[in-house]
Structure 1
Amino acid sequence: MNHHSMITLISHYGYAGIFVLLFIGIVGLPLPIEIILLGAGYIAVKANLHIGGIIGFAWLGASAGMTLNYLLGQSIGLKRISKVTKWIHISESRLEKWAEQFKKYGAIVLLIGYYVAGLRHAAPFIAGATKMRYIKFMCISYVGALAWILVIVLLGQKLDKAWRHFHIHFHHPLWLIVAAGIAAIGLMGVKRMAAQRRLSR
């Protein structure tokens, strides 16, 4: 599913679409869910949704996905999990290596996992398989999910504003003249250096 399909789904189903996409994106399907969060402002306008609602339902979907993966990890263990995670290119040996790190740095792995491809899906599995207490898992993963969502949504809004600012000013004639001048000076400098190298030979 590409980002166009995801936006179409959100346009049809609203907040429920946001919830489902974040849920299945966390559970393991390789969806580019960061695209939804980065474009939350655009999606809010296009789908007639509120940005706060997008953040809220994204958090609920991510938290539900994390909880399901934790419960699966707790019930079936790493060996069986590897038969599923191999489809997203996470081998049993990698899971075991992450599990060793998790025993030492579980909280950090859960928090960082949101920002690392593959680890976002595997971290709650490992938390369940290594018997991390559910209350501890819940506190860390739910707070981490909210922080991750807010960071990406705010980053998306900042990038959007920066792009619009650049786009407006780039089309201003003065900036075009300055840009052309800089390019011309740079080209002259390159030609001069090439000429000096030829003379030195």
Structure 2
Amino acid sequence: MNHHTMINLITHYSYPGIFLLLFIGIVGIPLPVEIILLGAGYIALKANLHIGGIIGFAWLGACAGMTLNYLLGQSIGLKRISKVTKWIKLSENRLEKWAELFKKHGAILLLVGYYVAGLRHAAPFIAGATRMRFTKFMSISYFGALAWILVIVLLGQKLGKAWHHIYTQFHHPIWIIVAVIIIGLGLLTKMMVHQRRVTS
């Protein structure tokens, strides 16, 4: 599904269309949902929608998708999930490696996952499969979803009319940059905490 089809779907179905696209984009179908968020201002004018409504329904769709993936991960496990995720180039071996990392850095991976292709779909599965507490998962993933949506929408607002041109020319640079920043801040924070423990 290309971005023209997605925009037409939103124009026709309004806010439920936004919810549905974000939901299936998180569940595992590789849709370029960021194009909706980058062009939220443009879509709001074209579809006669309020940008706050776009953000709200995008957030609800993302949270619903994350929750479903978490519950599937909890009930199915990584081995059986890998039979499905292999179609989006996520092998069982790769999922297991991420699961090991998740046991140590689960919160960071959940937050970063929104900005990294593949990890966004796999992170909630892994959270469920590794038995992360549901309340902890909700607080981190729901906050992360809102931050992800707001970051891209605000960047889209700054880009203005150039958002479509930049998207087609560079393709997905924004969340990669943000992911690097988040990872860097996470590692820096961990190093500072470790250093304090050593010196205390």
Same fold (TM over 0.5): yes
TM-score, reference length from structure 1: 0.80
Q: Check if 1:77 corresponds to 2:77.
A: yes
**Inter-partner Cα distance in structure 2 for 1:159 and 1:11:** 22
Tell me which residue corresponds to 2:45: 45
Tell me which residue corresponds to 1:7: 7
Tell me which residue corresponds to 2:124: 124
**Inter-partner Cα distance in structure 2 for 1:90 and 1:155:** 29
- Equivalences for residues 92-131 of structure 1 within 5 A: 92-131=92-131
SS at match of 1:32: coil
- Alpha-carbon offset, residue 160 of structure 1: 1.2
**Inter-partner Cα distance in structure 1 for 2:88 and 2:157:** 30
**Inter-partner Cα distance in structure 2 for 1:41 and 1:87:** 33
Runs of 4+ in 1 over 2 A off after TM superposition: none
**Inter-partner Cα distance in structure 2 for 1:59 and 1:15:** 11
Give the unaligned 5+ runs of structure 1: 165-201
Amino acid at match of 1:136: K
- Equivalences for residues 11-30 of structure 1 within 5 A: 11-30=11-30
Tell me which residue corresponds to 1:34: 34
SS at match of 2:29: coil
Q: After superposition, give the CA deviation of every residue in 1:65-110 in whole Å (9 maximum; x if it has no partner).
A: 0000000000000000000100111111000000000000000000
TM-score, reference length from structure 2: 0.80
Number of equivalent positions: 163
RMSD: 1.0
Q: Which has the larger radius of gyration?
A: 1
Give the unaligned 5+ runs of structure 2: 164-200
Q: Check if 1:140 corresponds to 2:145.
A: no
**Inter-partner Cα distance in structure 2 for 1:34 and 1:93:** 28
**Inter-partner Cα distance in structure 2 for 1:119 and 1:94:** 10
- Alpha-carbon offset, residue 118 of structure 1: 0.2
